Amino acid sequence: MAIPLRQTARVGAYVMNQRLHRREKFALVLQLEPLYQCNLACAGCGKIQQPDDILARRLTVQECIDAVEECGAPIVSVAGGEPLVHREINQIVAALIERKKFVYLCTNALLMERKLDRFKPSPYFSWSVHIDGLRERHDESVCRDGVFDKAVSAVREAKRRGFRVSTNTTFFGQDDASTVRDVLDFLNDDLKVDVMQISPGYAYERAPDQEHFLGVERTRAIFREAFADGRRKKWRLNHSPLFLDFLEGVVDFPCTAWAIPSYSVLGWQRPCYLMSDGYVRTYRDLLDTTEWSQYGRGRDPRCENCMAHCGYEPTAVIATTGSLRQTLRAASDTLVGQRMA
């Protein structure tokens, strides 16, 4: 794996500080959505199904800063919608980097090459490009031909200019172990991105396509086969070892969605960015007024097939910091990933 050493150290210290202050719930990553509007209409996405008046809304730079400072998360994933549609997105990113937050700017890359000049390389900044398979599979996923080639071109140009580039790949029911291996081999060995994030698809309630999301048992079977023969160690994956164990079914975790809260033009989303059970004004309201015990597999039917990183990656990270053996394991993988990068 190749999680940046600086980020690993900061997050570890942050979690330990929360433990010392006996805080049971805290934010690890803020899912910041400064707009819902997008220049694609992917079948598996529920964000662009919002009414036109909501799609027209934008968070201001100050509102984004306030949300980040309110929850205190060391990492900010700027998503949407398509963030590069936002006219002030470069100012939002710059303000968060100035506050030494680790910023991942999620994009479908259609506007990326054109807007690279508005950003500067930084150890606190990474592009996060959505690539949901190789050419045919990706273009099918985003419902438009040619998007894969534009994304690959943008990644190569960003790397040439000295930016850190990560990718975000979601796997669906059409995928199997071979497609997982094929895309990760391409991203790791050919495109040579810095890190890769992976996640099984979750059925957004508003998504037009409800037929191709993975269930728990199939998710485990696919990743168990894809990771066989030590393959996962060669890929620069932006995940803790325990989360990868979780995907394989080696361990199981409860959902801790409060650790990756979502803030958007509608406020703080309850309970996570995949489900819409209302919105509240502050992060404290989200923590205090959400009935967290009602969510998760075996509790809410909507959660039965969810293994998404927003609910389970933070559980794995917190479990890692609570175990010396797992901490050493994660540190070892990080150092190996740094040498491979």
Q: Which residue reads 């969810």 in tokens?
A: 306
Collapse the DSSP code of 175 into the 3-class scheme (helix H, G, I; strand E, B; otherwise coil) and give the result.
Answer: coil
User: Using CA atoms, how far apart are residues 248 and 104, in angstroms rounded to an integer?
Assistant: 26
User: Using CA atoms, how far apart are residues 48 and 64, in angstroms rounded to an integer?
Assistant: 20
Give the DSSP H/E element, type plus range, for residue 15. helix 5-20
User: Using CA atoms, how far apart are residues 323 and 227, in angstroms rounded to an integer?
Assistant: 23
Collapse the DSSP code of 213 into the 3-class scheme (helix H, G, I; strand E, B; otherwise coil) and give the result.
Answer: coil
Q: How many CB atoms lie within 10 A of CB 41?
A: 12
DSSP 223: H
The angle subtended at Cα 292 by Cα 291 and Cα 296, nearest 5°, is 125
Collapse the DSSP code of 65 into the 3-class scheme (helix H, G, I; strand E, B; otherwise coil) and give the result.
Answer: helix
At residue 210, the pLDDT reads 45
* Integer angstrom CA distances of residue 205 from 82, 202, 308: 19, 9, 15
User: Using CA atoms, how far apart are residues 193 and 202, in angstroms rounded to an integer?
Assistant: 25
CATH code of the domain made up of 5-340 = 3.20.20.70
pLDDT along the chain (341 residues), means of 10: 78 92 96 95 75 95 98 97 97 98 98 98 97 94 94 98 97 91 97 94 55 79 93 90 93 94 97 91 97 92 88 90 69 53 52
pTM of the shown model: 0.92
Sheet with 195-200, edge to edge strand ranges = 195-200, 164-171, 125-130, 102-107, 75-78, 29-33, 262-264, 267-272, 275-280
Contacts of 251 (CB under 8 A, 6+ apart): 242, 245
At residue 249, the pLDDT reads 94
Q: Which residue reads 């269930």 in tokens?
A: 215
- Range list of β-strands (E), the chain: 29-33, 75-78, 102-107, 125-130, 164-171, 195-200, 262-264, 267-272, 275-280
User: Using CA atoms, how far apart are residues 176 and 140, in angstroms rounded to an integer?
Assistant: 16
At residue 233, the pLDDT reads 87
The angle subtended at Cα 93 by Cα 318 and Cα 80, nearest 5°, is 75
| Spans of all domains in the chain | 5-340
10 Å CB burial of residue 195 (0-12, 13-18, 19+) is buried
The answer to whether 256 touches 240, Cβ cutoff 8 Å, is no
At residue 235, the pLDDT reads 94
Q: Which amino acid is at 160?
A: R
**Helices in 101-204 by DSSP H: which ranges?**
112-115, 135-142, 147-160, 177-185
